[in-house]
């Protein structure tokens, strides 16, 4: 194996459960960049649903479990700005008053990254070996954009892909209406937000919509499909890894099961 | 005093407003104007972000020494011949206003825009006492004609279309020619101006709000774009300033720093058209000004926020940038929030002032997209504080039972990696098998909140973790 950094993949619940291909794409991208990738077995979820519901006790229990499961790796990487942001920005807040866990939370936060920005900002990747035919547009997921400053990184890598044409989405920085439990607690408002987003997506004329977070992707894909819009939806990692021929989110799996 | 709030009904309010075509048209029109305006103003001022940091630091310092600066301010106001009244509650503030009005036998009160006036429901109190309040800010005047409340803290009538305003003017200004042309906004503005101009001379008392209070000089500041505030406070015999006590800043220089971020964040202007400082009543030799100058300092729950996780909310300068950039506010408008303060700042402040049992929906109705914090000129961590309200709600068992059960079940599984892998492994295989032909579901029991408006994508098959465990790996790069 390579002498590169030893990276733990935090696969995130939605990728684990709904779209494992994003996990394999993430592993491929990091291996291609020289990393040794492992998948710690004790992982479940980062605790965000509990955290954002005001359930601090369960959040702390889950966060401690994550801190232990990911101890000792050079880096921890998640194919999600939201889950990476939870660990790198909110865990330190959560344990600020806990002398025993505070240092451990800070230490994990310092080596936890979102996948695409890890490739570009930490590993210095400037291009990927992938081909993709077609016009795509890109939605900036809120946590990645505002908590982690992810904006130029995915665009930079996509730009270098042969055959791929990137068309900017108007209001790409406006929330798609997912917001975790928000979308089921306030479905009417969430629907208004995702409807506005859909209008913008369709207006680009792009055949494919990309983003870096499964929650937002499932929300937008679900809305586009419900309203019969002809746009395919994928996680950006799949395209970057050259795995863009996988059936898109919400499309039939060709009899697999 | 009974507080008139419908925050408890936020969900239904929101549903009604989403179906309100006039509101949706009005919101669509205003949105771009505010967002682009702020963005341009920020880009044109290289030191904008440095000013935001300074503004935050000024307010943090002031809040740490609030008692000192308020007492210093009171002394300066008294030295300039004015009066300071301390009001612990909204009812206290109402009573003080009524007492002052009665002391000069007031029949009419002119009002500049004041959110504290809304908070203490001063118009209702004046009317009940037989005194006529006249709103002089154009937006406030329009909604007063319509018997409505403001839906935005700086643009009170932003929920209305031009046609609705025209209709209200025709219904109310019956003394004017019914065939007059009123189609364009300038004609509406001219008409309001003509009508209001006469009223300025009828009032015995003028009430304004305050954007800032200055401890160093004992001055109050208002910023307006119509000049109505100046006429409201200069012409009548008595000027009453309604202000909440966190409006205080130490010096004139500090006020100038905050003013530099205020209008830019609010409307995108470099400065509002009028910035008016008031220091005491008319002095001998002054050409104009009121005979009496009163400041009412309202607490109404604010000092209870000091020293808590909500203290930072007291930095708010009421620019409205958070609601202008909030996708939830932009979906439902300000009235859905049910009380005086809408949008993200209201979602933090209202539970503090009304109680979390009344206003608990507000901090929950956020996708935590973080845009409010991003644009807040005072760097108020609004999402974090909304989360703190959710924690208070959760701890006091106020959150809905069904949500607690669902969350509890999920957390039970998430705390047990083996159970998680077993349960999700089976579930996902089943779901995937059921959805394999279409790749998605249009209706799923227990996920109706989702499938009411969207399809639910089917899982690809086995979970990532189970596939990884059985040795599956991605294809390696050629030659690697």
For residue B457, the SS3 value is strand
Task: Decide: B134 and B105 in contact? Cβ < 8 Å.
Answer: no
CA distance B470 to chain A (A): 12
pTM of the model: 0.95
- Taking CB atoms and an 8 Å limit, are B365 and A182 in contact across chains? yes
Any domain includes A178:
yes
Of A66, A95, A121, the residue at which a domain comes to its end is A121
Give chain B positions within 8 Å (CB) of A19: 457, 459-460
CA distance A81 to A94: 18
Give chain A positions within 8 Å (CB) of B11: 186, 188
- Taking CB atoms and an 8 Å limit, are A189 and B14 in contact across chains? yes
- Taking CB atoms and an 8 Å limit, are B465 and A11 in contact across chains? yes
Give the residue-averaged pLDDT of A90-107. Answer: 97
Give chain A positions within 8 Å (CB) of B436: 252-253, 255-257
Give the residue-averaged pLDDT of A2-9. Answer: 90
Domain span(s) for CATH 3.40.50.10420 in chain B? 13-303
Query: Residues 6 or more apart from A156 whose CB is under 8 A from it?
Result: A120, A126
Nearest chain B residue (CA) to A69:
B417
Residue B480 has pLDDT above 60, yes or no: no
Give, as one character, the DSSP assignment of residue B474. Answer: P
Q: A177 to each of A213, B16, B317, how far by Cα in Å?
A: 13, 19, 28
Task: Decide: A27 and B474 in contact? Cβ < 8 Å.
Answer: yes
Give the HSE-up count for residue B107: Cα atoms under 13 Å, Cβ half-sphere: 4
CA distance B350 to B41: 29
Any domain includes A255:
no
| Residue A257 forms contact with B (CB below 8 Å) | yes
CB nearest B364 (choices: A174, A185, A251) = A185
Please indicate, yes or no, whether residues A12 and A35 belong to a single structural domain of this protein.
yes
| Residue A51 forms contact with B (CB below 8 Å) | yes
- Taking CB atoms and an 8 Å limit, are A147 and B429 in contact across chains? no
- Taking CB atoms and an 8 Å limit, are A194 and B453 in contact across chains? yes
Any domain includes A228:
yes
Pairing of strands A75-78, A36-38: unpaired
Report the percentage of chain B scoring pLDDT > 70.
Answer: 99
CA distance B192 to B169: 8
pLDDT of residue A2: 58
For residue B331, the SS3 value is helix
pLDDT of residue B168: 96
- Taking CB atoms and an 8 Å limit, are B365 and A189 in contact across chains? yes
CA distance A75 to chain B (A): 19
Give chain B positions within 8 Å (CB) of A250: 439-440, 455, 457-458
pLDDT of residue A257: 36
Please indicate, yes or no, whether residues A78 and A145 belong to a single structural domain of this protein.
no
pLDDT in tens, B179-197: 999 888 889 999 999 999 8
- Taking CB atoms and an 8 Å limit, are A142 and B367 in contact across chains? yes
- Taking CB atoms and an 8 Å limit, are B453 and A225 in contact across chains? no
Range of the domain at A210: 126-240
Any domain includes A257:
no
CB nearest A225 (choices: B328, B455, B480) = B455
For residue B373, the SS3 value is helix
- Taking CB atoms and an 8 Å limit, are B367 and A181 in contact across chains? no
Third-level CATH fold of B13-303: Rossmann fold (3.40.50)
CB nearest B391 (choices: A16, A17, A54) = A54
Please indicate, yes or no, whether residues A111 and A132 belong to a single structural domain of this protein.
no
Using CA of residue B398, residue B403, residue B409, residue B413, what is the dihedral sign?
Answer: negative
CA distance A203 to B196: 46
Query: Residues 6 or more apart from A57 whose CB is under 8 A from it?
Result: none
- Taking CB atoms and an 8 Å limit, are B453 and A174 in contact across chains? no
pLDDT in tens, B435-471: 888 999 998 877 888 999 999 999 999 999 999 999 9
Please indicate, yes or no, whether residues A198 and A232 belong to a single structural domain of this protein.
yes
- Taking CB atoms and an 8 Å limit, are B415 and A249 in contact across chains? no
Residue A1 has pLDDT above 70, yes or no: no
> Which regions of B251-351 does DSSP assign to beta strands (E)?
274-278, 292-298
Please indicate, yes or no, whether residues A220 and A164 belong to a single structural domain of this protein.
yes
Please indicate, yes or no, whether residues A152 and A187 belong to a single structural domain of this protein.
yes
pLDDT of residue B184: 84
CB nearest A179 (choices: B368, B454, B458) = B368
Task: Identify which of A142, A90, A139, A145 has the alpha carbon closest to the alpha carbon of residue A112.
Answer: A90
Please indicate, yes or no, whether residues A116 and A167 belong to a single structural domain of this protein.
no
- Taking CB atoms and an 8 Å limit, are A44 and B420 in contact across chains? yes
Give chain B positions within 8 Å (CB) of A186: 11, 14, 328, 364-365
Please indicate, yes or no, whether residues A187 and A224 belong to a single structural domain of this protein.
yes
In this structure, the number of other CB atoms found within 10 A of the CB of residue B99 comes to 10
Q: How many residues does chain B have?
A: 480
Structural domain count of chain A = 2
CA distance B84 to A251: 68
CA distance A96 to chain B (A): 14
pLDDT of residue B478: 53
Nearest chain B residue (CA) to A148:
B370
CATH number of the domain within which A137 lies? 3.40.50.11810
Task: Decide: B314 and B302 in contact? Cβ < 8 Å.
Answer: yes
Any domain includes A256:
no
pLDDT in tens, B311-330: 999 999 999 999 999 999 99
Please indicate, yes or no, whether residues A143 and A60 belong to a single structural domain of this protein.
no
pLDDT of residue B479: 44
For chain B, the first-to-last Cα distance in angstroms comes to 76
Please indicate, yes or no, whether residues A116 and A134 belong to a single structural domain of this protein.
no
CA distance A175 to A191: 12
Please indicate, yes or no, whether residues A100 and A140 belong to a single structural domain of this protein.
no
Residue B370 has pLDDT above 50, yes or no: yes
Of A90, A121, A152, the residue at which a domain comes to its end is A121
CB nearest B453 (choices: A25, A27, A223) = A223
Residue B110 has pLDDT above 90, yes or no: yes
Q: Which helix (H) or strand (E) holds B219?
A: strand B219-224
For residue B134, the SS3 value is strand
Residues 11-50 of A with CB under 8 A from B: 11, 13, 15-21, 23-25, 27-28, 31-32, 39, 41-45, 47, 49-50
pLDDT of residue B397: 78
Residue B402 has pLDDT above 80, yes or no: no
CA distance B282 to B233: 11
Q: What is the ipTM of this complex?
A: 0.97
Task: Identify which of B98, B357, B467 has the alpha carbon closest to the alpha carbon of residue A256.
Answer: B467
- Taking CB atoms and an 8 Å limit, are A188 and B428 in contact across chains? no
Pairing of strands A131-138, A208-211: parallel
CB nearest A226 (choices: B407, B439, B453) = B453
Any domain includes A170:
yes
Pairing of strands B212-214, B238-244: unpaired
Please indicate, yes or no, whether residues A87 and A139 belong to a single structural domain of this protein.
no
The three-state (H, E, C) secondary structure of chain A, written as one string: CCCCCEEEECCCHHHHHHCHHHHHHHHHHHHHCCCEEECCCCCCCCCHHHHHCCCHHHHHHHHHHHHHHCCCCCEEEECCHHHHHHHHHHHHHHCCCCHHHHHHHHHHHHCEEEHHHHHHHHCCCCCCCCEEEEEEEECCCHHHHHHHCCCHHHHHHHHCCEEEEECCCCCCCCCCCCCCCHHHHCHHHHHHHHHHHHHHHHHHCCCEEEECCHHHHHHHHHHHHHCCCCCEEEEHHHHHCCCCCCCCCCCCCCCCC
Helix H segments across B225-303? 228-234, 252-266
Query: Residues 6 or more apart from A110 whose CB is under 8 A from it?
Result: A88
CA distance B358 to B201: 41
Of A74, A92, A121, the residue at which a domain comes to its end is A121
Higher pLDDT, B437 or A165: A165
Residues 118-177 of A with CB under 8 A from B: 129, 142-143, 146-147, 173-175, 177
CA distance B193 to B189: 6
pLDDT of residue A253: 80
CA distance B140 to B150: 7
Query: Residues 6 or more apart from B355 whose CB is under 8 A from it?
Result: none
Any domain includes A251:
no
């Amino acid at each position: 194996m390579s002498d590169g950094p030893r990276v733990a993949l935090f696969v995130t619940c939605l990728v684990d459960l709904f779209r494992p291909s994003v996990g394999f794409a993430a592993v491929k991208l990091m291996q291609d960049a020289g990393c040794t990738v492992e998948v710690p077995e004790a992982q479940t979820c980062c605790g965000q649903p509990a955290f954002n519901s005001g359930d601090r006790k369960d959040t702390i229990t889950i966060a401690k479990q994550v801190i232990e499961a990911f101890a000792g790796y050079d880096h921890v990487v998640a194919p999600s700005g939201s889950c990476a942001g939870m660990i790198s920005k909110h865990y330190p807040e959560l344990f600020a008053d806990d002398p025993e866990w505070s240092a451990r939370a800070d230490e994990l936060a310092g080596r936890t990254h979102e996948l695409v920005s890890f490739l570009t900002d930490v590993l210095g990747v400037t291009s990927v070996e992938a081909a993709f035919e077609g016009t795509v547009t890109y939605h900036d997921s809120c946590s990645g954009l505002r908590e982690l400053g992810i904006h130029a990184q995915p665009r930079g890598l996509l730009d270098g892909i042969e055959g791929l044409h990137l068309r900017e989405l108007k209001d790409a920085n406006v929330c798609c209406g997912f917001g975790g439990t928000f979308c089921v607690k306030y479905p009417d408002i969430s629907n208004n937000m995702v409807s506005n987003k859909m209008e913008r997506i369709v207006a680009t004329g792009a055949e494919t919509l990309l983003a870096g977070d499964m929650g937002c992707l499932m929300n937008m894909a679900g809305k586009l499909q419900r309203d019969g819009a002809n746009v395919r939806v994928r996680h950006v990692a799949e395209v970057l890894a050259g795995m863009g021929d996988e059936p898109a989110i919400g499309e039939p799996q060709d009899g697999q099961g | 005093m009974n507080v008139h709030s419908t925050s408890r009904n936020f969900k239904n309010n929101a549903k009604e407003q989403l179906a309100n075509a006039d509101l949706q048209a009005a919101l669509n029109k205003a949105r771009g104007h505010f967002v682009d305006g702020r963005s341009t103003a920020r880009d044109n001022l290289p030191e904008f972000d440095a000013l935001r940091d300074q503004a935050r630091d000024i307010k943090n310092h002031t809040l740490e020494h609030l008692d000192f600066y308020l007492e210093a301010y009171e002394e300066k106001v008294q030295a300039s011949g004015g009066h300071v009244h301390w009001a612990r509650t909204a009812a206290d503030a109402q009573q003080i206003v009524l007492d002052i009005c009665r002391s000069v036998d007031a029949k009419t009160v002119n009002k500049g825009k004041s959110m504290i006036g809304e908070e203490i429901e001063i118009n209702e109190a004046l009317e009940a006492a037989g005194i006529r309040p006249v709103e002089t800010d154009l937006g406030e005047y329009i909604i007063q004609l319509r018997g409505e409340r403001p839906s935005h803290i700086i643009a009170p009538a932003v929920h209305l279309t031009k046609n609705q305003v025209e209709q209200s003017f025709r219904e109310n200004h019956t003394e004017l020619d019914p065939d007059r042309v009123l189609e364009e906004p300038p004609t509406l503005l001219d008409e309001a101006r003509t009508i209001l101009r006469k009223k300025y001379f009828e009032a015995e008392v003028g009430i304004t709000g305050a954007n800032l209070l200055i401890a160093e000089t004992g001055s109050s500041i208002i910023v307006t774009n119509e000049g109505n505030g100046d006429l409201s406070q200069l012409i009548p015999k008595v000027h009453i300033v309604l202000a909440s006590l966190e409006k205080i800043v130490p010096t004139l220089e500090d006020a100038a720093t905050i003013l530099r971020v205020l209008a830019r964040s609010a409307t995108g202007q470099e400065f509002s058209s009028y910035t008016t400082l008031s220091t005491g009543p008319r002095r001998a030799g002054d050409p104009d000004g009121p005979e009496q100058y009163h400041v009412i300092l309202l607490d109404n729950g604010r000092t209870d926020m000091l020293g808590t996780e909500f203290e930072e909310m007291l930095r708010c300068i009421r620019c409205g940038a958070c609601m202008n950039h909030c996708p939830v506010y932009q979906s439902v408008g300000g009235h859905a929030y049910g009380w005086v303060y809408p949008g993200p700042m209201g979602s933090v402040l209202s539970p503090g002032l009304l109680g979390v049992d009344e206003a608990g929906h507000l901090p929950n109705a956020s996708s935590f997209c973080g845009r409010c914090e991003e644009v807040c000129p005072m760097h108020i961590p609004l999402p974090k504080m909304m989360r703190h309200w959710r924690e208070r709600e959760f701890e006091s068992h106020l959150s809905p039972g069904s949500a607690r059960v669902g969350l509890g079940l999920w957390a039970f599984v998430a705390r047990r990696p083996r159970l998680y892998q077993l349960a999700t492994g089976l579930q996902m295989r089943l779901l995937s098998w059921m959805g394999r032909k279409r790749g998605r579901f249009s209706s799923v029991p227990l996920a109706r909140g989702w499938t009411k408006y969207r399809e639910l994508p089917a899982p690809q098959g086995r979970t990532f973790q189970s596939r990884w465990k059985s040795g599956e790996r991605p294809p390696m790069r050629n030659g690697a």
